[in-house]
Amino acid sequence: MAMIEAIKLTKHYGKFVALKDLDLEIEQGDIFGFIGPNGAGKTTTIRILATLLEATSGHATIDGHDVAKEPYEVKKILGFMPDEFGVYDGMRLREYLDFFGAAYKIPQRKRASIIDDVLQLTDLSSKADDFVSAFSRGMKQRCCLAKTLIHDPKVLLLDEPASGLDPRARIEMKELLKTLCSMGKTILISSHILSELGDMCNKIGIIEHGELLAAGGVGEIMERVREVQELRIEVFEGADLAESVLKDAPGISDLERAGDVFQMQSRLGRAELAGLHGRLLDRGVKLLFFEQDKGTLEDVFLSVTKGGI
């Protein structure tokens, strides 16, 4: 059963429809990247999943628990990092985490070591005795992430967690999320930094005007979205042979040759591509390099969304 599941989720703010029949299915161990232009409805979706907002219609479950009917059960297994949040005045980082630890009913004797762990994970150990309200934005972001991890939740909902982080912290965060994922956690992350999501997520969903335009595996969506892709081939031996094969191959156009390097536009799916590869080898071409450019999430994003808020 899916870890996070939403069925026909709809949310109206007065007359304004922020979400329209959104269906979502995220399996355990997935890192699901949630992307969409500003005002698309990402935060709205995440807040409904986090039990903070009531959907107008439709329903959603986290690990089988309905978010509207069993919020307490959901909260136990859910770590939520909001896009905007404040921090308490006059609390030191360790005290702040201790408060949330206690609020998540973690026994006191376990709390200290858990806090040490999350501080280590978020690289804040040296700041444990500093006041949270004096933190920079990025440090507050890390502090909130530490708070989110404190009760070892199975499912993480992260709303733009990387905004405000420095490049090193971003890379570390990416590693952290991958580690968490390998521990079997399910992560839903919304972000505008697509290059990052691209090599971290195994699934993505693209939302615009409250509608899910595409969802699924990253490669799958890329393929579906981009019909024409760049194919680059470099041969070690048999360039002329290769040229003749490529010229006749269906779905290949705009072939350009520069010595042993070929560049062309391809409309081939994965299977056809493998076929072409095999044919070249069969004819005795020795290949050095054979790559169809996957494109970037940015390209996908631009071609799927229409723009306009």
Partner 1 sequence: MRVYFPALSLVKRELLSTLRGVRAFLLLVLFVCAGVLYAWLNWPESDGSFWMASMLSRFMMQTFIILLFGACTLFVPAFSASAIVVERERATYDLLRMTLIRPSGILFAKMLNAVGLFLLILVGLAPVLSVAFFLIGVDPVQMGQALAIIVATTIACAAAGVLSSAMFNRTLFAMGASYVLVIMLMIGPLILVYLASAIAPFFVSVRAVFGSVEYLATVVSPVVTMITLVGTSIGTKGLSGTQILLSLCYQAVFALSCLGVALYFIRRPQRPMKVEDSKPIDNRSILAQRKLTWPFYIIDPLRRKKPIEDGRNAMLVREMRWGLLNRGTTLIRVFYCSFVVYFFSGAVASIDARSFDTMGRWMLIQIVLTIIIAPALMANVFTKEYELRNVDMLRMTLLRPREMILGKLFAGYMSVVPLVAAAVLSCLPLIALGARNWTMLGVGYATLLICVSVSLSLTLTASIFTRRTAAALVLGYSLSVVVFIGLWYVAAALGASDDFAYMLSPVGSYVRSANLSLFGGYAGRGQGVRLEYWFYAMGMWASVAATLIAASIILFTRFRMTDR
Does residue 39 bind partner 1 (CB under 8 A)?
A: no
Min CB(21)–partner 1 separation in Å: 22
Nearer to partner 1, 149 or 280 (CB): 149
CA distance 38 to 31: 21
Q: Which does 289 bind (CB under 5 to 8 A by kind): partner 1, Mg ion, ligand ATP, none?
A: none
Nearer to ligand ATP, 63 or 159 (CB): 159
Furthest C-alpha separation in the chain: 74
Does residue 142 bind ligand ATP (CB under 6 A)?
A: no
Min CB(160)–Mg ion separation in Å: 6
- Residue in 52, 274, 281, 288 binding partner 1, rule: CB under 8 A: 52
Query: In three state form, how does the secondary structure of the chain look?
Result: CCCEEEEEEEEEECCEEEEEEEEEEECCCCEEEEECCCCCCHHHHHHHHCCCCCCCEEEEEECCEECCCCHHHHHHHEEEECCCCCCCCCCEHHHHHHHHHHHCCCCHHHHHHHHHHHHHHCCCHHHCCCEHHHCCHHHHHHHHHHHHHCCCCCEEEEECCCCCCCHHHHHHHHHHHHHHHHCCCEEEEECCCHHHHHCCCCEEEEEECCEEEEEEEHHHHHHHHCCCEEEEEEEEECHHHHHHHHHHCCCEEEEEEECCEEEEEECCCHHHHHHHHHHHHHCCCEEEEEEECCCCHHHHHHHHCCCCC
Min CB(226)–partner 1 separation in Å: 37
Q: Kindly indicate which of the ranges 26-34, 76-84, 206-214, 276-284 contains the residues binding Mg ion, using the contact rule CB under 5 A.
A: 76-84
Does residue 113 bind partner 1 (CB under 8 A)?
A: no
Q: Kindly indicate which of the ranges 63-71, 80-88, 113-121, 242-250 contains the residues binding Mg ion, using the contact rule CB under 5 A.
A: 80-88
Residue found under tokens 């005007």: 209
Does residue 18 bind ligand ATP (CB under 6 A)?
A: yes
Nearer to partner 1, 112 or 281 (CB): 112
Min CB(182)–Mg ion separation in Å: 27
CA distance 99 to 266: 57
Does residue 86 bind partner 1 (CB under 8 A)?
A: yes
Q: Kindly indicate which of the ranges 32-40, 197-205, 238-246, 285-293 contains the residues binding ligand ATP, using the contact rule CB under 6 A.
A: 32-40
Spell out, one character per residue from 37 to 66, where the chain touches ligand ATP: x when CB under 6 A holds, - when not: -xxxxxxx----------------------
Does residue 83 bind Mg ion (CB under 5 A)?
A: yes
Residue found under tokens 């628990």: 65
Binding residues for partner 1 (CB under 8 A): 47, 50-54, 72, 75-76, 78, 80, 82, 84-92, 95, 98-105, 107-108, 111-112, 129-131, 133-134, 144, 147, 151
Binding residues for ligand ATP (CB under 6 A): 13, 16, 18, 36, 38-44, 83
